[in-house]
Chains A and B, each alone.
Chain A
Amino acid sequence: MPLPRLIPCLDVAGGRVVKGVRFEGLREVGDPVELGELYSEAGADELVYLDVKATLEGRDALVELVERIAERLAIPFTVGGGVHSAAAAAALLEAGADKISVNSAALERPALIGELAARLGSQAVVVAIDSAAGHVRTRAGTEPAGRQAVEWAREVEARGAGEILLTSIDADGTRDGYDLVLTAAVAEAVSIPVIASGGAGAARHIADALGIAQAALLASILHEDPARLTSLRAELRELGVPLRDAA
């Protein structure tokens, strides 16, 4: 198995990194390219950029942002938010992204996953699953999707997804640790890599998640502060997590 991965997540809106709860009260906190570069220098294994207001914006703006990120970053990055077609996804990959993440669009039209896999290869297709008490939620967690998380995970794998980004809405923002029960249930149900997300408050939480999942998404624990990533990496190494030597 490849080494466990730490993946900082940057929420972007209107071309800026923003902070806030979903659609409410977004506050600009930085430039996506600069912050991405600083995370890369601090040892991030990959980055995820989520366009949190994607449905309200033009797609060309996102392609331009991806072009700027690719010019400066030499580590892989995933782009998500509002991708509804294989053509739109291909444009983002051509601009320099490595993977595309889909969530609500895949729930609305599951065949999209197969179309993305056929066009881009499974290794470029991430399906994000937001779960509350084992039930999938859609539209940024606001609505029930009428599916069980484990069952949906199996289906997205069968349809060609290459990775699952699994967020526990129950754990998200609590800082009490990842939802290990949910993460283990999904990781056992599929044979593609799983990225655990939601709930990290301390290095111990991340180490626990990486005992089950292949990668951990880091969002609020970093506070958009690359120095926090550096210190977390050191703490994780002390806990015995075999992170790569990023030098």
Chain B
Amino acid sequence: MTVAVCDYGAGNVRSVALALERLGASVAVTRRAADVHAAGLAVLPGVGSAASAMESLRSTGLDAALRERVAAGKPTLGICLGLQLALEESEEDGGVSGLGLVPGRAIRLRDGRVPRIGWATVEPEGEAFYFAHSYAAETPAATARSEGIVAVAEAGSFLGVQFHPEKSGAAGARFLERCLSRV
């Protein structure tokens, strides 16, 4: 299984690659569109600001590569900011256009302490995963929630998660293994 992890200067690329390698995947950390097209699974990681992340996706051409890939029905996983960028827009940084792979928008968290940091249960499965975010998806494509907040969204061949499976211990490894086995 080859996995392309999009490298566009947005933080946690190495952690994601290492977690997938621990599961036996052959991982290419890449900013080449051809690698993103060819891989069995493409992963869009990301932490930090939506505006600068979207800007680097555009400047590397990875935005188009990801859109074409999902249009072709190829499995694609977005993690944390990677889910938020996949939406139509984000209210972060005064408003940012997203990739439009998933209907909906990213909105700032308003309840509780923000950033929302820590392990929280994801329903309906009931396992705890690690979250670290100030924005969250508002989307009709949600398939799982954590304390009412969208934790997983699926649209076509795109699967987005708000939590960090690469930092969620055994539960995270099981989640990533399921992603790899579906490909």
Which residues in A have some Cβ–Cβ distance to B below 8 Å? 1-5, 40, 45, 67, 70-71, 74-76, 93-96, 98-99, 118-124, 162-163, 191-193, 214-215, 244-247
Contact = CB atoms under 8 A, between A and B. Distances in A.
A244 B172 CA distance: 13
15 contacts: A1-B112, A3-B120, A3-B121, A5-B118, A67-B14, A71-B18, A74-B173, A75-B130, A76-B132, A96-B15, A96-B18, A98-B12, A120-B48, A123-B47, A247-B170
Interface of B: 11-15, 18-19, 22, 47-49, 112-121, 127-128, 130-134, 147, 164, 166-170, 172-173
B48 A163 contact: no
Contacts of A3: 118-121, 128
A123 B49 contact: no
A71 B128 CA distance: 22
A131 B154 CA distance: 46
A4 B12 CA distance: 24
Contacts, number: 107
A114 to B, nearest CB: 13
A179 to B, nearest CB: 20
B116 A2 contact: yes
Contacts of A4: 118
A193 B22 contact: no
A142 to B, nearest CB: 30
Contacts of A121: 11, 47-49, 134
The binding surface of chain A is classed by DSSP as: loop
A67 B17 CA distance: 12
Given A3-B128, A98-B167, A123-B117, 18 more contacts: A1-B113, A2-B120, A3-B120, A3-B121, A45-B118, A74-B167, A74-B168, A74-B173, A76-B164, A98-B12, A119-B48, A123-B133, A124-B48, A162-B115, A191-B113, A215-B118, A245-B128, A246-B170
A74 B134 contact: no
A5 B118 CA distance: 7
Nearest to B49: A121
A162 B169 contact: no
Contacts of A122: 115, 134
Contact of B117 (A67, A95, A119, A162): A162
* Interchain residue pairs A-B with the least CB separation, the first 4: A2-B118, A121-B48, A123-B115, A2-B120
Contacts of B49: 118, 121
B132 A123 contact: yes
A2 B117 contact: yes
A214 B117 contact: yes
Contacts of A93: 11-12, 47
A45 B173 CA distance: 15
Contacts of A2: 116-120, 131, 147
Contacts of A120: 11, 47-48
Contacts of A192: 113-115
B174 to A, nearest CB: 11
Given A1-B147, A93-B12, A75 B167 contact: yes
Given A1-B113, A70-B15, A214-B118, A124 B130 contact: no
A106 to B, nearest CB: 17
Contacts of B22: 74
B12 to A, nearest CB: 7
A93 B12 CA distance: 7
Contacts of B134: 121-123, 162
A162 B133 CA distance: 10
B19 A244 contact: no
